[in-house]
A and B are shown apart, each in its own frame.
Chain A
C-alpha cells in the first residue's frame, strides 16, 4: 500500500534520514519505534508531504507522493495525527472534527464519519460544543485522532499518541487504535513507548540516528537481544 524507497531527508544542510526504506501493506498495524531524535516524526512528515526527500521515492497505492503537496496526500487517503495532537485550540470540538473532513470527498461523507468518530470516542460527542483548548490531555489526543479519521483515511499515521498521558489512558488509547485497525484502517504508529507498541503491532521498524537498524515481526523484535538491552532494560 505504502512504500518508501531509499529516501534521504535534509533540514537545510543537516541530514536527518539516511536511506530509509519501509513497506506498509493494506490492513497492517506497523510500529515505527526508536529513541528520541531517531527520525520517526521526520519519516511521518515526509509521507505527509510536509518534508520532501532529497532522493528516493515514496509511493502510495502505486502513485508517487514525492511531488504532491500535503493537502493532495490527505485526499489520496493518508491522514496523520501529529505529535502532541496540534488541535485547533480556539475552535469547538465539533469545528475541529468538521475541519478534519475538509477535502471534498470527505466532506460529502461528513455525517457518517462524525457518527463513526463519536462511536469510537463517545467523550467527544459529550464535549462537541466545548472549546477544544479547554479539553484535558487525553481528550485532546482523542480529538486529534478523531479529526484525522474524519477524512476517512485508508492509512492512519499516529505520532506518539501516548505522549504525556497517564498510564491508564495510554492503555485505553492503544485499545482504541487497535479497534480502528480492526475496522479496516491501516495503521502506522510511531512510538517511544517501545514495549506497548511492539506488543500491538504486526510488524515493526526500529529507527536509530536516522537509519533503520532493525525490522521484522513485532514480537520477534521484542525478544531481540539488542532491543531488549537498549530499550526495555
Chain B
C-alpha cells in the first residue's frame, strides 16, 4: 500500500514539524545559557491558553494570535529569567546545569498549579471552522491545520537563523556561545544576551503552544509530555544545532507515526524514547551536532 506509506510519512512530517518548533526554543535557551529549562512545556501550555483566550474572547483566529502568544511568553520569559535564572546562570557550568534543572522543575510545578487555579483542569481546544478540512494529493491526505505546522515551524526556524547570522545582536549571541569571556571583553553585556536568549526561547514556546491548541488540546498538566518530546528532539538533532532541531522533530514525528501504523499507537511514545536511547548510545553528539573538542 504505497499510499498509506506516503500517508505515514506525510503525517509524521507534519506532526514532526510541530515537535521541532517545540524543541527550537528549548534548544536555543540551552545552547546559549546552558540552562536546561524543563519548565519549557509549561511555557508551551501558557502559550496555548493565550491563544485560546484570544480566540474565545476576541474571536481572533489562532494563527493571527501567534504574535500575541509570542510577545506574552517573551515577556514572561524575560521576567522568569530576571527573577529566577539570572541567579543560577553565574554558577560554574556543572553546578549550573544541576541547579537550573532543579529550579526549572520547581517552576514547572508552580506554573502547572497556577494554570489549574486560573483555567481549571478541563481539557480545552481551539475549534476553528477550518479544522476538519484536508485536501488529497495522490491519495495522501493533507489536513490544513497540520500543514500549517510545517509552514509556521519553517518560518520561525528561518527567522531565528537569519536573526542569529545577520544582525549585530544575533552575532553577539553566537559570540557569547563560542566564548563568553572573549564576548564580554569586546563589550557584549553577556547577561543581556542570556536574558534575550531565554525570552526568545519562551516566545518560541508560546508560538508552539498556539499550534498545540489547534492541533490537539490543552490542559494544565500537558507540559511534561511536551518537555520530553522537546528533549528527545534536541538530542536527536544535536545540542545547539538549530536546523538539526527541525530535522530531529521530523524524525521523531515519522518514527511515531510509523509505530502507530505498524504496531499500535500506544507504543508511539516508547518508540521515541528508544530512538532517544539509541542516539545517546551511538551518537551522543546528536545526528547533526559536532563532536566537542
Q: Among B178, B184, B189, B190, which residue has its beta carbon within 8 angstroms of that of A88? A: B178
* Given A69-B189, A71-B189, A91-B184 contact (CB < 8 Å): no
Are A86's CB and B187's CB within 8 A? no
Separation in Å of the B76 CB from the closest CB of chain A?
26
Are A89's CB and B182's CB within 8 A? no
Residues of A100-155 whose CB lies within 8 A of B = 100, 102-103, 106-107, 147-148, 150-151
Separation in Å of the A101 CB from the closest CB of chain B?
8
Q: Among B168, B175, B185, B187, which residue has its beta carbon within 8 angstroms of that of A91? A: B175
Are A99's CB and B185's CB within 8 A? no
| B34: Cβ under 8 A from any A Cβ | no
Are A102's CB and B185's CB within 8 A? no
Residues of B85-132 whose CB lies within 8 A of A = none
* Given A74-B187, A103-B187, A106-B187, A98-B182 contact (CB < 8 Å): no
A151: B residues at CB distance < 8 A? 186-187
A48: B residues at CB distance < 8 A? 184-185
Are A91's CB and B171's CB within 8 A? yes
Q: Among B171, B172, B178, B186, find the residue whose CB has the most chain A CB atoms closer than 10 A.
A: B186
* Given A86-B179, A89-B178, A91-B178, A74-B185 contact (CB < 8 Å): yes
Tell me the bound Cα distance from A28 to B175 in angstroms.
32
CB closest chain-B residue, reference A150 = B186
Separation in Å of the A131 CB from the closest CB of chain B?
12
Are A100's CB and B186's CB within 8 A? yes
| A95: Cβ under 8 A from any B Cβ | yes
Are A102's CB and B184's CB within 8 A? no
Chain B, residues 173-203, CB within 8 Å of chain A (1/0): the string is 0110011011111111111000000000000
Tell me the bound Cα distance from A86 to B179 in angstroms.
7
CB closest chain-B residue, reference A74 = B187
Say what secondary structure dominates the interface of chain B. Answer: helix
* Given A74-B187, A147-B186, A102-B174 contact (CB < 8 Å): no
| A90: Cβ under 8 A from any B Cβ | yes
| A82: Cβ under 8 A from any B Cβ | yes
Are A88's CB and B185's CB within 8 A? no
| A43: Cβ under 8 A from any B Cβ | no
CB closest chain-B residue, reference A81 = B185
Separation in Å of the B173 CB from the closest CB of chain A?
11
Q: Among B172, B184, B191, which residue has its beta carbon within 8 angstroms of that of A50? A: B184
Separation in Å of the A7 CB from the closest CB of chain B?
19
Q: Among A70, A95, A106, which residue has its beta carbon within 8 angstroms of that of B185? A: A70
Tell me the bound Cα distance from A75 to B185 in angstroms.
10
Q: Among B168, B182, B190, which residue has its beta carbon within 8 angstroms of that of A86? A: B182
Separation in Å of the A48 CB from the closest CB of chain B?
6
Q: Among A50, A86, A98, A103, find the residue whose CB has the most chain B CB atoms closer than 10 A.
A: A86
Are B178's CB and A99's CB within 8 A? no
Are B181's CB and A50's CB within 8 A? yes
| A66: Cβ under 8 A from any B Cβ | no
* Given A69-B189, A74-B186, A151-B187, A99-B175 contact (CB < 8 Å): yes
Enumerate the 8 nearest inter-chain pairs by beta-carbon distance, A residue then B residue, closest first.
Answer: A74-B187, A86-B182, A103-B187, A70-B184, A71-B189, A102-B187, A71-B187, A88-B178
Q: 17 A-B pairs, CB-CB below 8 angstroms?
A: A48-B185, A50-B181, A50-B184, A69-B191, A70-B185, A79-B185, A89-B178, A90-B174, A91-B175, A91-B178, A98-B168, A99-B186, A102-B168, A102-B186, A102-B187, A148-B185, A151-B187
Which A positions have Cβ atoms within 8 angstroms of B? Answer: 48-50, 69-71, 74-75, 79-80, 82, 86-91, 95, 98-100, 102-103, 106-107, 147-148, 150-151
Excluding A69-B184, A69-B191, 15 further A-B contacts by CB distance (< 8 Å) are: A50-B184, A71-B184, A74-B187, A79-B185, A80-B185, A82-B182, A87-B182, A88-B175, A88-B178, A88-B182, A99-B186, A102-B186, A107-B168, A148-B185, A151-B186
